[in-house]
Chain A
């Protein structure tokens, strides 16, 4: 009778096999394991002492017999060709204990005394293992990531049916526990000295050394290091720097091909989230960025916003070389930078003569706010070219304010307000076929995962040939609802809450669900245009931390509210964990 394993009927071993196993200890087929050769195309396993061995019967010297068996005990190869002759059986009969042999071309166990195939689980396990290793080796070179090993999908059909090995769950024993303990770093290590004695600093807070007027870079990097979707992307190894470098090194060995800002970011994330609290020097990243933005490569103070845009561009450019261009701009399919920061703006221009409206969509990676000079508004300058910032005007005398304080909300309102393009800015109407006065209105068609608001504090006037910094205070909320500025809301208000279809209906509907944003990082600038300093405030676990190059301190939120914001980063509320529970160090 046969026994059942995993619902499969497994034949009982013959007495000779039982004998053999009892005589040869726990790993009777150990020697054979090294001789298992697997041919990748079909995954067929064969037994060869050397890969190029030509097996031949030791008795009759024939190598062209269809069935050749190698004795498991003494490695003698014999042919088996009943009813003519069977040198394998002769061998088995002549020497007791040598009944078990293995088919050299099929890697199947045969009992020469019983003259029948027998089955042994350990041997089958070894064969399957050898075939599995070969299968994963071939699939990983055919394009999929090295991390993935889809074993069951790659095994040919005949293998799946014949070879089955039990799944045995594994738990570490005491020795393995020790090994695991010696080679891992605890996540919450109480012995690491924290900057603040009373409380423990949250995970991932690490100072960045100033490498020579690089606070512009440090401040933006601190914000990006804690941008939730970006942090999750790199910490879950979605861009593996070793694999990327290996892949690029194979394609093109020149220096430029090894430049990858995403790889340097990956290294930085690993360093910053390692638990080490000593300040980190982002020298490699700086060098890579210099190579990418050659015109900004100097030790002079640079603009943080310019650096931010340049960095996103660098990540995007590198990816573009690898993959095909994404189909739709603003969808964020092209790279992680755009996946996170890219949104879509909608611009409607309505001819005041005939009412014909022309609509255009443009992607943008952030929103730039302009401080309006007090003496009256000039025309709105909105240049939403692909992957550029868009301009928004700040109104200090809006209806919602008191004491003439500018707020972020008021400038967003102004941004989405319908603006009349006067007689000096006539727009060409397609219906009228002539330039007409028009009404222009901007709205947000698709919100990015992370909205970056950039306040234009540096005015460069070509007329007066001088630049100055605007120190005006801008109030910004900690929670922001962008729903009123979406295309759906704007259009609805234009037509008075009527039901009508407009394109991208489903997309706007999903945006309404996720139009709430939470502030998580503020980059501030203090000082003058030519001698200033950037500092970032980070919001982690509902506490604010000031990141001033290598120094990180906890601060009260009132300080942040009063700070002179230069770049404010908001993330969609559903991606932001306001008060993450801090586990006690176990």
Chain B
């Protein structure tokens, strides 16, 4: 094995890493933002409100991420309306197609995590909100969401790691993310082992950073939990 190729192509690998980081960060942030209203709608007792998010979550959790990427990337261009709309400059770009697919996907998972967390809050704590005469909005803003945030952290960190790994699929629609870049380099150098090992190490390093950050935030956030932290239900 000759690791000098890794050194030689290190700048290229870093370029790919940067693209991967952008993909992950953007879709995780956007997905997190969309996840909250989806989760709240999903909790609603009114079937008219909870039906749509249910179907949404069902679809995005039940189909492969790769299929979702292809649907956005190849699917969008099938429609005349799309090609003529102002959105076309965006939907034409593989990068934005990946962002859209990732965001939809991760928002479905994250919504489910939020829902689990909100419903894991002991009913007595909710009743304590009711008896002081909180409105629904006050209840969510002051108690339920901050409380759910603490419960959700471990599962949410996990979702980001999954997204990191899923982001490699972006390379299938010509994006030069870390995996895509690795494949282009290999096509030139024929050194798959060295380059993929290097890519693997970089993915691992990013994962470790994410895990470390979440450990810290969790420690800060959950310092109150004492000996009996709330556990998420298994189906989340």
Q: Do A and B form a real pair?
A: no
Interface residues of B (CB under 8 A from A): none
